């Protein structure tokens, strides 16, 4: 009886270890065949670009931005001594301007004080300075767009708009300089070009064209158009320059516009500048409609260029 009982215990003990061994072998085989390896690659870093989001399906939009959005643009104009004229006539008060802009580099200061400035190279660093200089010029240079255009449709309100009431760094009020200085005179053909282009160029901060320059970006673009026309820049080139300038003034909106066109098979250099600057894409309402059609980006955060100095 004792021998039979011992044999039963031995059998149970063997079965127990056999079962444990079988389970261990099964686990090893399963791990070998079906294991999942998780790797963290150092290069897969999230960059500090607002378009780079965890919700993006790929990094293609980031590539579009890095490769296609201009980092600088050469303005095909002769700035010459216009900065000096703006300060001498009081359109720009040097003291007030310095308080707003802070210390400037030697090259930037030359735009205010020099007499032999040629074309301006606009980039992300000096885009605000160039905006304010062109704003001052567009506001003060005498032109029919200001004298008989939408800015004067209600004369009692002309001085209360962002482009006029918001210009607080002149000697005297902005309206004492509004379309009052003959810095640059245009021929009839040049004026016609400015009129036609200004009616087709919008900015994402509002629904008004440059022909109704009621904010700083509109007034600055008007000034740029006048200078390009005076320097006999072709309409086609002027549109391309205007698009790249808008892209520096409104980087988020035009980064997204580049993604939109990329999704539709066009890179930045293939975009029709006149079309892109029109009401369907560059106005506030057009931008909103375009933005809603972008598939590869999350919904946008609120923001954009402001309309003050």
Which residues fall within 8 angstroms of residue 75, CB to CB, at 6 or more apart?
A: 119, 120, 121, 122, 130, 224, 227, 228, 241, 245
C-alpha distances out from residue 159 to 145, 185, 198, 223, 228, Å:
15, 24, 20, 18, 26
> What's the pLDDT score for residue 302?
54
Dist CA 151 CA 145 (whole Å): 8
Confidence of residue 297 (pLDDT cuts 50, 70, 90): confident
Question: Residue 270's pLDDT band (boundaries 50, 70, 90)?
Answer: very high
pLDDT in tens, 170-213: 999 999 999 999 999 999 999 999 999 999 999 999 999 999 99
Output the pTM of the full model: 0.77
> Of the given ranges (51-65, 124-138, 164-178, 226-240), which has the lowest mean pLDDT?
51-65
The rounded mean pLDDT for the chain is 83
Q: Report the alpha-carbon distance of residue 238 to residue 254 in Å, rounded.
A: 18
How many angstroms from the chain centroid is the CA of residue 54?
22
Q: What is the pLDDT of residue 278?
A: 98
Average pLDDT over residues 83-106: 97
In whole angstroms, give the CA distance from residue 36 to residue 196. Answer: 63
State residue 259's pLDDT score. 93
Is residue 218 over pLDDT 90? Answer: yes
Q: What is the mean pLDDT of residues 217-229?
A: 98
Please report which confidence band the pLDDT of residue 27 belongs to, taking 50, 70 and 90 as the band edges.
very low
Give the pLDDT confidence score for residue 306 in this predicted structure.
Answer: 53
Residue range 98-116: mean pLDDT, rounded: 95
Which position has the higher pLDDT, 16 or 233? 233
User: Which pLDDT score, from 0 to 100, does residue 75 have?
Assistant: 98
Q: Say which range, 115-119, 192-196, 303-307, has the weakest mean pLDDT.
A: 303-307
What pLDDT score does 37 carry? Answer: 34
Q: Which segment, 42-51, 81-90, 265-274, is predicted with the most confidence on average?
A: 81-90
Per-residue pLDDT, averaged over 243-250, amounts to 97
Nearest to 224 by CA among 245, 204, 205, 251: 245
What's the whole-number mean pLDDT along residues 243-267? Answer: 94
CA-closest candidate to residue 303, choices 71, 59, 101, 51: 51
- The tens digit of pLDDT for each residue in 30-68 reads 444 443 332 323 333 223 332 232 233 344 545 544 446
In this prediction, residues 128-156 reach a mean pLDDT of: 98
User: What Å distances lie between residue 24 and 27, 28, 67, 270, CA to CA?
Assistant: 5, 6, 55, 63
pLDDT at residue 121 greater than cutoff 60: yes
The pLDDT, as a whole number, for residue 69 is 76
């Amino acid at each position: 009886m004792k021998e039979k009982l011992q044999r039963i215990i031995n059998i149970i003990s063997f079965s127990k270890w056999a079962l444990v061994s079988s389970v261990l072998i099964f686990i090893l085989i399963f791990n070998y065949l079906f294991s999942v390896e998780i790797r963290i690659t150092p290069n897969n870093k999230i960059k500090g670009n607002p378009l780079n989001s965890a919700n993006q399906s790929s990094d293609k939009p980031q590539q579009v931005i890095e490769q296609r959005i201009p980092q600088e643009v050469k303005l095909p104009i002769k700035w010459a001594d216009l900065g000096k004229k703006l300060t001498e006539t009081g359109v720009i008060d040097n003291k007030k301007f310095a308080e707003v802009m802070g210390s400037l580099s030697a090259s930037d200061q030359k735009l205010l004080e020099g007499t032999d400035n040629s074309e301006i190279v606009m980039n992300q660093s000096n885009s605000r300075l160039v905006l304010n200089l062109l704003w001052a010029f567009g506001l003060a240079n005498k032109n029919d767009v200001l004298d008989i255009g939408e800015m004067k449709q209600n004369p009692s309100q002309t001085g209360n708009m962002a482009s006029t009431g918001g210009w607080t760094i002149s000697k005297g009020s902005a309206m004492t300089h509004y379309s009052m200085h003959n810095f640059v005179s245009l021929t009839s053909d040049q004026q016609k070009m400015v009129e036609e282009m200004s009616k087709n160029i919008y900015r994402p901060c509002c629904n008004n064209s440059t022909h109704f320059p009621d904010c700083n970006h509109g007034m600055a673009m008007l000034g740029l158009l006048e200078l390009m026309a005076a320097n006999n820049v072709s309409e086609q080139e002027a549109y391309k320059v205007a698009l790249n300038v808008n892209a520096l003034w409104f980087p988020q909106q035009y980064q997204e516009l580049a993604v939109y066109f990329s999704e539709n098979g066009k890179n930045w250099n293939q975009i029709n500048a006149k079309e892109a600057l029109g009401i369907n894409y560059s106005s506030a309402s057009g931008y909103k409609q375009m933005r809603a059609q972008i598939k590869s980006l999350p919904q946008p955060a609120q923001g954009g260029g402001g309309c003050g100095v």
